Chains A and B, each alone.
Chain A
Amino acid sequence: MWYHKPTINEELLQSLPNLKVVASSGVGIDHLDLKLLSSHGVKVANNPFIVSTDTADLGMALMLASARRLVEGHEMAVSPVTEYFPADWLGVEVSGATLGIVGMGAIGYKVAERAKAFEMKILYHNRNQRKKEEESAVGAVYCKKIDDLLQQSDFVLLAVNLTPQTRKLIGKRELELMKPTATLINISRGLVVDQDALVEALQNKVIKAAALDVTYPEPLPRDHPLLKMKNVIITPHIGSATKKTRWIMMEEMTESIEAGLAGLPIPREVL
C-alpha cells in the first residue's frame, strides 16, 4: 500500500480472506492496526531504511528554507510587483546555531551528520542515549529531559515515529518552553504535534516559525490557518520523494510480497 490507503479495518480484512501480506510504503506504520492484521494471519512489511537519507535531506532543506526565508524570497524575486530588492531583507543563519533533534533514530542521526557540517551545536532527546562513539561522531549532546532541549534550541526538529507515547509530544507546554526565536521542523508525523496549540503559538509569537512536511490531516483543509501564515512552510509529505528512492521502495515492497506469498521469511517484516 502507498501512503496510508486503503484504510485497513475489520471490514476490509473480512472481504479479503486470502490476504497474506501487506507491504506498506515508507517506514511509518502508525496507520496500521498491527494487532488486527495479526489476528487475521496477515504479515506486514515496510521500508525501514531506504527513506532515511532523502528524509534527512528534506529536514535540512526545510530548516534552511525557513531560516533563510527561501519560499518568501522566491515569491518576491518572481513577483510582478517587485521593483527592487530591499537591502534590509534578512534571515537568520543555520551555521553555528543550536539544533535540537527529538528522535535520534536512523533519520534523526542522518540529520545530525548533515547539521554538523554547518557547525551546528547538536542536542538530542531520545528514548535511549546513543553510544558514545555515535554521539561524538556528530558532536551530539544527550538531553534526557526534553525540556532542556527545547529551552536551548534555535531549531527543534522532530524525527520520532508516531506511537501512543509520542502523540501530541509537542503541545502548548513544550512550545512555551521553546525560545521565541525558535523554529519547529516536523518530518515525523502530524499527530506528534498538537496542531491547534501550534497555530496558537505561531499566532502569539510564542515561537518564530514552523516548517512542516507532515500535518494532520494531509492535505490540510483549504481554510486552515497554517496555510495562511508567512512564517510557515508546508510541503506535501515529500520526505522520501526522489525517483530513485521510490523505485527502490517499490522493489522492496514487491520482494516482501513475493516472499510472503511463497511462505518464505519476509524481508523487512514488521513484528
Chain B
Amino acid sequence: GPGLKVISTLSVGFDHLALDEIKKRGIRVGYTPDVLTDATAELSVALLLSACRRLPEAAEQVKSGGWTTWKPLWMCGYGLSDSTVGIIGLGRIGQAVARRLKPFGVRKFLYTGSGPKPESAAEFGAEFVPLTRLAEESDFVLVTCALTPATQGMCNKDFFGRMKKTSVFVNTSRGAVVNQEDLYNALASGQIAAAGLDVTTPEPLPTDHPLLSLKNCVILPHIGSATYATRSTMAVLAANNLLAGLRGEPMPHELKL
C-alpha cells in the first residue's frame, strides 16, 4: 500500500526484495547481518560433515536394520585431512566457515567472487581463483555468496562437470544459485560424490522432486540461522530496525539502497 514506510527483513539476504521499486517509493529497509554469521557458518560445516561422512544415510541404516555385519569399506565417506576447500563468496559467513574448517587439516583454501579480498583471505592463506579453477581443484565446495543476477544459476552443468568425482558440494546461500537439474544429474551419474543443501528452489521441494530420491544428497529445511539464541537476536534487531524506521531515526542495520 502507499503508506508503507519500512521493510524489516529477518535475514541477511535481500534477494527477495525488489530493491528498485522499494528505492523509488522511498521505503527504508532493515536487515540482520553479522548476528547470524556464526550460526550459519556452523550449520554450513555441520552440513558438510553430514554429507561427507554420510550421517543421515548411516543413521537410517542403524534404524532400518541395514547394519548387519561390518565390512571395512561399508559406509565410507571422505575425510577433510589434506583437502582443498573452495569457498564461493568469502564474505562474513564464508570467512567464518573457513575459520572453522582450518583445524580439520585442510591443506589449501581457494575462493572466488566478484573480486579478491586480500585482508579477509590472509587469515587462511586463501587463493583467489576463477570459478572454473575452484571447481576443478576443490575436494569440498561451499557456496556462501549472496544471490544476485551474477550468481543466479552459477553452479550449473559446466561447473559440476569440472568438479572431482570424489568432491562434496554444499550450498547454504540461496537455492537459485544452483541449477538443480544439473546438480541432480551430477549426483546421479557420480560426477560428484555428494551434496548438502540448506536451500533449494522452492522450499520445500515438491514431493516428487528427483533430488529427494538421492542417497548422497543431504537436504535441510533452511535452518542456517535457526538457533534459539540467534533467532532471538535477529528478532530483536528486526524489531528495532522497524521501530527506528517508523520513527525516522537511524536503524541499527539499514540496507543501503
Contact = CB atoms under 8 A, between A and B. Distances in A.
Contacts of A118: 42, 100
A233 interface: yes
Contacts of A116: 103
A71 B53 contact: no
Contacts of B226: 68, 89-91
B204 A84 contact: yes
Given A82-B204, A116-B103, A65 B46 contact: yes
A2 B74 CA distance: 12
The residue in A95, A119, A227 that gathers the most chain B C-beta atoms within 10 A of its C-beta is A95
A116 B59 CA distance: 27
A236 B62 contact: yes
Nearest to A241: B76
Interface string B49-69: 110011110110111010110
A237 interface: yes
B227 A90 contact: yes
Contacts of A245: 79
A108 to B, nearest CB: 14
Contacts of B77: 238, 241-242
Nearest to A80: B207
A246 B222 CA distance: 34
B223 interface: yes
Contacts of A234: 59, 62-63
A246 B55 contact: no
Interface string A11-49: 000000000000001000000000000000000000000
Interface in B104-122: 104-105
Contacts of A236: 58, 61-62, 67, 70, 75
B48 to A, nearest CB: 9
Nearest to A113: B103
Given A65-B55, A236-B75, A241-B53, A70 B63 contact: no
Interface stretch (B148-156, B183-191, B212-220, B238-246): B212-220
Interface string A109-138: 000011011110000000000000000000
A259 interface: no
Interface residues of A, number: 62
B203 interface: yes
A219 B67 contact: yes
Nearest to B228: A90
Contact of A238 (B75, B212, B218): B75
B236 to A, nearest CB: 15
Given A84-B204, A234-B62, A96 B38 contact: yes
A243 interface: yes
A227 B65 CA distance: 10
A72 B188 CA distance: 24
A54 B52 CA distance: 11
A246 B72 contact: yes
A185 interface: no
A62 B55 CA distance: 8
A235 B204 contact: no
B59 A233 contact: yes
B49 A61 contact: yes
26 contacts: A2-B70, A2-B72, A3-B70, A57-B81, A61-B46, A69-B223, A73-B220, A82-B221, A85-B221, A89-B226, A90-B228, A91-B227, A91-B228, A93-B229, A94-B46, A113-B103, A114-B104, A117-B100, A219-B67, A236-B62, A236-B70, A238-B54, A242-B76, A246-B73, A249-B72, A250-B72
Interface of B: 38-39, 41-43, 45-47, 49-50, 53-56, 58-59, 61-63, 65, 67-68, 70-81, 99-105, 203-205, 207, 212, 218-223, 226-231
